[in-house]
Amino acid sequence: MKTLGLNQVQLQDLLENAVHTEHHQTQYEQRILNQLYGGLTDSDKWAQYLDGHPAFKFHLVSDGGKIKVVELVTKSHQKICIIDFITFTINEETCNTDMVLTDYDLIMLASETITTIFGFGITVQRGNGMNFYARSYELGDNYGNVCHGGQNSTIMISVNATGLMNARENWESRLFHFLEIAISPKITRIDLAHDIYTAPDFLIDHYLCVYDKGGFTNYRNAPAVNQAGNWLTPNTDGRTLYIGKRTSGLYLRIYEKGRQLQSLLYPTWLRLEGEIKSDNRFITHDVLLRPHDFFAGLYPCFRSFNNTFTRIDTFKNEVNADFDHRIKWAKHQSGGFIKLLKELTYSNDEIISMVEGAKIPKTWQRKFFGNTKPAIHDEPAVINQQPTMLD
């Protein structure tokens, strides 16, 4: 059964030609290079290009006494923050076509789609499931995982920091366009990270003072705060400041990453890493295109990072956002057919009668209309009815 009206070739073409494509980015960078370095030799051009583009820089760190080369910044055109981790789910019907007969066929098609977006796909099936799914698969070279089987017929895709570092340029735009046409898409977690490579030694102490002054308080009550490491007599192991609870929808880690990695080039490197989950928040797809706005909107003290900021909607706004998305999906799925029926002179009432379902799905019933089951004390009394034992 076709659900999106797109075959795999059409889907790949759509994602490859999303706005802000790699081709346009390459053309832009080449124009900049020609303008800045037109009069220099090739070797000089490359050296100056590396100096002006930190996304291509590397530096040395010490790991257990061994010197390792680590990429300084993940590939991102955003200067404020990077996306360091992402997990999202889609209904399996998104990857369904006439050729899908088995779960294996479905996973093969999902792997093709993931490759179109990130540049790598599913490589191996793991021996057991995870995250309450029956089956799990590895993405790329330990770049993340894909889970399927059970869980309301959904597919979960999770890409870690290493995977996003190795993803093809402009994956954010391709993923945005994919989620816009997917069935029941949901970003369940996204991590936004801001790096300060030459931070003063006292900066992490400064953020603790900012907490005391309410700089991390979004609502009436301040979030929880915890510290790790040696704060009385700081050493080379590094310190961490935790804002919020790991189980909540917003959790922040501020840690001395340079000391953690024993970085030779940036020993005072400080990272601010916000973990956003969909437990009590609705994570809009726009975060993929404007992560800097959403990072600046995480806390009041982050507003200075960017000229504009966007707050992550709390759960109470999910109904409106979900309703808008379902209208968009219904128009994409059935709009052409409804237009045809109108051209064939069917009335609006006749069209509604023809395409209207028999009942509202249970998940939509709860989301849009709330609880519909009466409490036992609201049930009308029945004469001589025996009492029901409660578990």
Each residue's pLDDT tens digit, 238-269:
999 999 998 889 999 999 999 988 888 889 99
Question: Is there a domain that residue 381 lies in?
Answer: no
- The whole-angstrom separation of Cα 82 and Cα 153 is 31
Size of the chain, expressed as the number of residues it contains: 391
Model pLDDT for residues 326-376, shown as the tens digit of each residue: 677 777 777 788 888 888 888 888 888 887 877 776 656 655 555 556 555
pLDDT over 90 (residue 89): yes
Mean pLDDT of 48-69: 51
Question: Is there a domain that residue 64 lies in?
Answer: no
One domain, residues 8 and 109: yes
Query: What is the CB neighbour count within 10 angstroms for residue 338?
Result: 17
One domain, residues 337 and 289: no
- The whole-angstrom separation of Cα 367 and Cα 365 is 6
Mean pLDDT of 90-118: 88
Say if CB 105 and CB 1 are below 8 A apart: no
Question: Is there a domain that residue 223 lies in?
Answer: yes
One domain, residues 284 and 367: no
Question: Is there a domain that residue 387 lies in?
Answer: no
One domain, residues 93 and 229: no
Model pLDDT for residues 183-228, shown as the tens digit of each residue: 989 999 999 999 998 899 889 999 999 999 999 998 888 999 999 9
One domain, residues 46 and 127: yes
Mean pLDDT of 129-154: 94
- Helix 103-118 and helix 8-16: axis angle, to 10°? 20
One domain, residues 10 and 38: yes
pLDDT at 3: 41
Angle among Cα 93, 96, 98 to the nearest 5 degrees reads 140
Number of domains in the chain: 3
Domain interval for residue 248: 197-271
Question: Is there a domain that residue 357 lies in?
Answer: yes
Q: Which of 289, 332, 290 is nearest to 11 (CA)?
A: 332
pLDDT at 327: 72
One domain, residues 99 and 167: yes
pLDDT at 96: 74
Question: Is there a domain that residue 68 lies in?
Answer: no
pLDDT at 376: 53
One domain, residues 134 and 239: no
Query: In which band, very low, low, confident or very high, does the pLDDT at 75 lie, cut at 50, 70 and 90?
Result: very low
Mean pLDDT of 263-277: 92
pLDDT over 90 (residue 98): no
- The whole-angstrom separation of Cα 163 and Cα 150 is 26
One domain, residues 124 and 215: no
Question: Is there a domain that residue 388 lies in?
Answer: no
> What is the chain's mean pLDDT, rounded?
78
One domain, residues 267 and 338: no
One domain, residues 299 and 176: yes
Question: Is there a domain that residue 316 lies in?
Answer: no
- The whole-angstrom separation of Cα 91 and Cα 113 is 14
Mean pLDDT of 283-306: 92
Query: What is the CB neighbour count within 10 angstroms for residue 262?
Result: 18
One domain, residues 299 and 328: no
Q: Which residue has the higher pLDDT, 353 or 316?
A: 353
Query: In which band, very low, low, confident or very high, does the pLDDT at 44 lie, cut at 50, 70 and 90?
Result: low
Query: In which band, very low, low, confident or very high, does the pLDDT at 314 lie, cut at 50, 70 and 90?
Result: low
